[in-house]
């Protein structure tokens, strides 16, 4: 057997590191519905941490297959009304959650305070319902998202994604009637699709009957 043939045989026998498939039950959202827009903030510097978050090696959305299929139905429902979904995050590695906690405990790093948490102290983010040592995102069926129009422009929700403050709550009376209507439209569409909302964040939804409830994964987004 030649060296080339031997090398080929070895490659076929032993999987190449880095080419492993996603864990069973997980998919890339684009493979289920490529019409859903995405903007993976945590794989960039445009987020409340101010840098690429640990575990995000690519600007891709990974999610459980069950949740992806549900989102596809929500997208189809919204298209009838001239709207669509834009997803910021879904599956989140545990290492990313740990990164958030370390950042929140660093009281000297206030670079993003004015944009993301102008009215509350950084020390209150952990334990205040905004940042936790465990996240349902790490189970794969929780998603952060918003609505867009036919031109791909985000609807006005009153606050940006990941804004830490009472204004982001579903019960907030601060947004205008138009902003409140936009939030209700998103909430109604997601609930029809089988998701339920997190009361403090208008963008945060979890699939009812999620397949990996109570399990927290740590494989990287790549």
Looking at the annotation, which residues are catalytic?
Answer: 201
Contact 219, 149 (CB under 8 A): no
HEC letters along the chain? CCHHHHHHHHHHHCCCCCCCCCCCCEEEHHHHCCCCEECCHHHCCCCCCCCCCCCECCCCCEEEHHHHHHHHHHHHHHHCCCEEEEEEECCCCHHHHHHHHHHHHCCCCCCCHHHHCCCCCHHHCECCCCECCCCHHHHCCEEEEEEEECCCCECCCCCCCCCCCHHHCCCCCCCCHHHHHHHHHHHHHHHHCCEEEECCEEEEEEECCCCCCCCCCCCCEC
Q: CA-to-CA distance for 148 and 85, rounded, in angstroms?
A: 6
Q: CA-to-CA distance for 187 and 182, rounded, in angstroms?
A: 9
Contact 59, 44 (CB under 8 A): yes
């Amino acid at each position: 057997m030649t060296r080339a043939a031997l090398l080929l045989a070895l490659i076929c026998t032993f999987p190449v590191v880095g080419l492993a498939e996603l864990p069973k039950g997980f998919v890339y959202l684009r493979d289920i519905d490529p019409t859903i827009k995405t903007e993976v903030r945590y794989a960039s510097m445009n987020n409340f941490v101010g840098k690429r978050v640990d575990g995000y090696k690519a600007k891709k959305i990974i999610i459980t297959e069950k949740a992806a299929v549900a989102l596809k139905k929500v997208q189809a429902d919204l298209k009838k009304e001239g709207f669509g979904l834009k997803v910021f995050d879904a599956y989140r590695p545990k290492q990313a959650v740990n990164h958030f906690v370390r950042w929140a405990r660093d009281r000297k790093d206030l670079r993003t305070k004015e944009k993301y948490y102008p009215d509350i102290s950084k020390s209150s983010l952990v334990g205040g319902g905004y940042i936790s040592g465990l996240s349902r995102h790490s189970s794969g069926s929780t998603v952060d998202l918003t609505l867009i129009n036919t031109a791909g422009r985000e609807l006005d929700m009153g606050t940006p994604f990941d804004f830490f403050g009472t204004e982001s709550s579903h019960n907030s009376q601060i947004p205008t009637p138009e902003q409140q209507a936009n939030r209700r439209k998103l909430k109604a569409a997601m609930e029809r699709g089988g998701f339920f909302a997190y009361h403090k964040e208008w963008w945060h939804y979890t699939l009812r009957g999620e397949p990996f409830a109570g399990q927290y994964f740590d494989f990287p987004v790549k």
